[in-house]
């Protein structure tokens, strides 16, 4: 004889998480009503694989210097890379500069609000497009990141991990949590994301503080170990090509004149890895070769 686990009440899960978010959500600058679509777009790109605590001060400096897409577009791409400093994944700075240029020249300096147009901007993927449409303009769309996927996997599906991402499946799962009301849907997207970020965390979930602990399918099942497919884990940073690329970029950012090949030689001892990292920077447009050395774009 088998027993079936009751399907959790998704609308109640969403309601409880929204109520929790109203009381416990962090006061982050991009959640203020007057923050604006440009600020939200910049924040979403900066927040990709970068902790909130590192983004907040850099975001404030960025928006003070470039308060609009046109302001950023008027600067050289290298200025964006230099201002990005140590946020990581500096290709995002070039993508943001390219997107700002299109917004300024094609969209009259106004960040688009519909997902298809946002997706047409350079470097803007599905998550960022949906996040801007929802958080800047209040449109009704599911927004899914790693934190959202984890909450749904545990609370709704009864699994300890979300497994590899699937855009179609993940969006459909989040859509089922969203109420019809646009304001409530907006709040639900933000609330589920926040719960995953600060309570339903990957390694040490704080279940006793969770507003849906009594409805959580994973908790009800006794926290079974996850046995499904796992997402590919990124190689560690130390000793990686990413680290070498970062060291070379740091040299370029710190110099107002071209950095010579001899100076780059001093950055990393392994010549093969150093040349591979430099070639990657040149290919990605993050560095430009000149007769006397290398500079930012």
How many other C-beta atoms can be found within 10 angstroms of the C-beta atom of residue 204?
A: 6
What is the rounded CA–CA span in Å between residue 185 and residue 138? Answer: 9
Burial annotation 256-285 (CB, 10 A radius, 16+ → b, else e): eebbeeeebeebbeeeeebeebbebbeeee
Going by pLDDT thresholds of 50, 70 and 90, the confidence category of residue 6 is low
Q: What pLDDT, in 10s, does the model give residues 14-72? A: 999 999 999 999 999 999 989 999 999 999 999 998 999 999 999 999 999 999 999 99
Q: Is 44 a catalytic site residue?
A: yes
How many other C-beta atoms can be found within 10 angstroms of the C-beta atom of residue 180?
A: 7
pLDDT at 76 over 60: yes
Q: Could you tell me which residues are beta bridge partners of residue 295?
A: 288
Q: Is 23 exposed, middle or buried (0-12, 13-18, 19+ CB in 10 A)?
A: exposed
Whole-number Cα distances in Å, 251 to 89, 195, 295: 16, 39, 9
On whether the CB atoms of residues 267 and 244 are closer than 8 A, the answer is yes
pLDDT at 229 over 80: no
What is the rounded CA–CA span in Å between residue 138 and residue 186? Answer: 6
Active-site option among 12, 44, 227, 275? 44
Mean local confidence (pLDDT), 116-137: 96
Predicted TM-score of the model (pTM): 0.86
Q: What pLDDT, in 10s, does the model give residues 201-224? A: 999 999 999 999 999 999 999 999
Whole-number Cα distances in Å, 26 to 20, 23, 30, 144: 11, 9, 11, 19
What is the rounded CA–CA span in Å between residue 202 and residue 69? Answer: 35
What is the rounded CA–CA span in Å between residue 210 and residue 191? Answer: 12
Q: What pLDDT, in 10s, does the model give residues 252-283? A: 888 888 888 888 888 888 888 888 989 998 99
What pLDDT, on a 0 to 100 scale, did the predictor assign at position 228? 76
Mean local confidence (pLDDT), 116-120: 97
pLDDT at 182 over 70: yes
Going by pLDDT thresholds of 50, 70 and 90, the confidence category of residue 250 is confident
């Amino acid at each position: 004889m088998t027993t079936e686990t009751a399907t959790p009440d998704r609308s109640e899960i969403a309601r409880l998480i929204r109520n929790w978010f109203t009381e416990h959500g962090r006061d982050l600058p991009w959640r203020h009503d007057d923050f604006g679509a440009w600020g939200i777009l910049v924040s979403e790109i900066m927040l990709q694989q970068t902790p909130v605590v590192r983004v907040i001060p850099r975001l404030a400096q960025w928006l003070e210097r470039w308060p609009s897409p046109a302001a950023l577009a008027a600067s050289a791409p290298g200025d964006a890379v230099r201002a990005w400093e140590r946020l990581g994944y500096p290709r995002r700075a070039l993508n943001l500069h390219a997107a700002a240029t299109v917004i300024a020249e094609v969209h009259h300096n106004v960040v688009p609000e519909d997902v298809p147009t946002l997706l047409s901007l350079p470097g803007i993927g599905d998550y960022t497009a949906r996040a801007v449409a929802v958080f800047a303009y209040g449109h009704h769309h599911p927004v899914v990141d790693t934190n959202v996927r984890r909450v749904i996997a545990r609370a709704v599906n009864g699994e300890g991990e979300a497994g590899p991402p699937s855009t179609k499946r993940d969006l459909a799962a989040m859509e089922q949590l969203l109420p019809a009301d646009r304001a409530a849907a907006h709040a639900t997207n933000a609330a589920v994301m926040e719960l995953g970020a600060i309570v339903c965390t990957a390694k040490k979930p704080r279940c006793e503080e969770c507003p849906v602990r009594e409805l959580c399918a994973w908790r009800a099942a006794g926290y079974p170990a996850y046995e499904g497919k796992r997402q590919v884990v990124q190689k560690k940073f130390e000793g990686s090509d990413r680290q070498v690329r970062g060291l070379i970029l740091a040299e370029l950012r710190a110099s107002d004149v071209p950095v010579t090949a001899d100076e780059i030689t001093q950055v990393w001892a392994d010549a093969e890895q150093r040349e591979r990292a430099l070639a990657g920077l040149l290919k990605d447009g993050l560095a430009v070769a000149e007769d006397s050395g290398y500079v930012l774009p």
